[in-house]
Amino acid sequence: MTIIVTGGAGFIGSNFVFHMLKKYPDYRIICLDCLTYAGNLSTLKSVMDNPNFRFVKASITDREAVNKLFEEEHPDMVVNFAAESHVDRSIENPSVFLETNILGTQVMMDACRKYGIKRYHQVSTDEVYGDLPLDRPDLFFTEETPIHTSSPYSASKASADLLVMAYHRTFGLPVTISRCSNNYGPYHFPEKLIPLMIANALNDKPLPVYGKGENVRDWLYVEDHCKAIDLIIHKGREGEVYNIGGHNEMKNIDIVKIIVKELGKSEDLITYVADRKGHDMRYAIDPTKIHNELGWLPETKFADGIKKTIQWYLDNKEWWEEIISGEYQNYYEKMYGNRG
């Protein structure tokens, strides 16, 4: 089995690469990543010499490069993680989100049609559903929840999902889609909430919290997410959407306080800043479908997962300090410039 993993140098993609190489030692895993700011080749250092792994630096929007890769590797499956994903950046510059998240998805699916594929899997987000009110804890996103996007990022992901389903219906492309809640864990890019708070707290820098920190997110440990996608691509039904949630709803401010306490820092570091435009209040996923059909449940309680995550950042300071300093952007050319 040969699987192309797009965006495999990013946070969730890299964890998926590690999971698949460990669980299926006879699979060939090809990572396609253009190494934008959030793709970091040093993340993949531990697998670069694995004979069943190949890294290819190219964008999913580059039709010629994608077709060449399909001709060389004849993949059985594609798992598409590649996406511009930071909401704040999408507000500053929406166009790059449309190019990567929509047109890039189209290029990948066109290659899947042209060269034949057993499964194309689109990694999406619960943000396509919009948000839920804080005063209705009984409400959850299901696969039937109407799409109602809030940001250019979530609109671009929703557009890609619709395109994936259209390719399934029109061309018979064997597809699945997963929509996950907020992930956390090792190799999380330091501009996101949890790693940013860990890094800033360790350096005694202010901890910026939007609004009053009342926004609620459903947190999913990244390894649990990878196991869910593994199940979907092997056993999920074609043309289906699966919600993947952690059953770990937390207010942002409570997460920040947990991190502060765990690191032995003062809550005086917490600084409240002006809220994000169109900021969604609450996300919460009902993962009943994937549990009933595929037997998946999240295994990691937040109290355990956050401790493991904090410990990982303490043990791997070099990784995130390089990113914060910007040096990681030179890493590719320095280490792997001559690798195909």
Distance CA 319, CA 84 (A): 21
Main-chain dihedrals φ then ψ at residue 325, nearest 5 degrees: -80, -10
Query: Whole-angstrom distance between the N-terminal and C-terminal Cα of the chain?
Result: 20
Give the list of residues 6+ apart from residue 189 with CB closer than 8 angstroms, or none.
Answer: 10, 11, 38, 40, 195, 323
For this structure, is 153 an active site residue?
A: yes
Catalytic residue among 33, 84, 126, 230: 126
Q: What residues have CB less than 8 Å from 180, skipping those under 6 apart?
A: 123, 124, 125, 126, 220, 225, 228, 243, 244, 245, 285
Under 8 Å between Cβ of 22 and 232 = no
Among 127, 223, 224, 280, which one carries the catalytic annotation?
127
Q: Is beta strand 216-221 parallel, antiparallel or unpaired with respect to 249-251? A: antiparallel
CB 256 within 8 A of CB 310: no
Q: Check: CB of residue 204 under 8 Å from CB of residue 264.
A: no
| Phi, psi at 80, each rounded to 5° | -100, 95
Enumerate residues 6+ apart whose C-beta is below 8 A from 297: 287, 291
Count other C-beta atoms under 10 Å from residue 286's C-beta: 18
Phi/psi at 158 (5° precision): -65, -40
Which is nearest to 336 in space by CA: 55, 62, 121?
A: 55
User: Annotated catalytic, 72?
Assistant: no
**Which amino acid is present at 259?**
I
Catalytic-role residue among 120, 129, 153, 167: 153
In the numeric block, which tokens belong to residue 29?
């895993």
Q: What is the rounded distance in angstroms from the CA atom of residue 267 to the CA atom of residue 128? A: 33
**Are 81 and 121 in contact, with CB atoms under 8 Å apart?**
no
For residue 313, give every residue at least 6 positions away whose Cβ sits within 8 Å of its Cβ, in sequence order, or none: 195, 198, 199, 202, 320
Active site residues: 126-127, 153
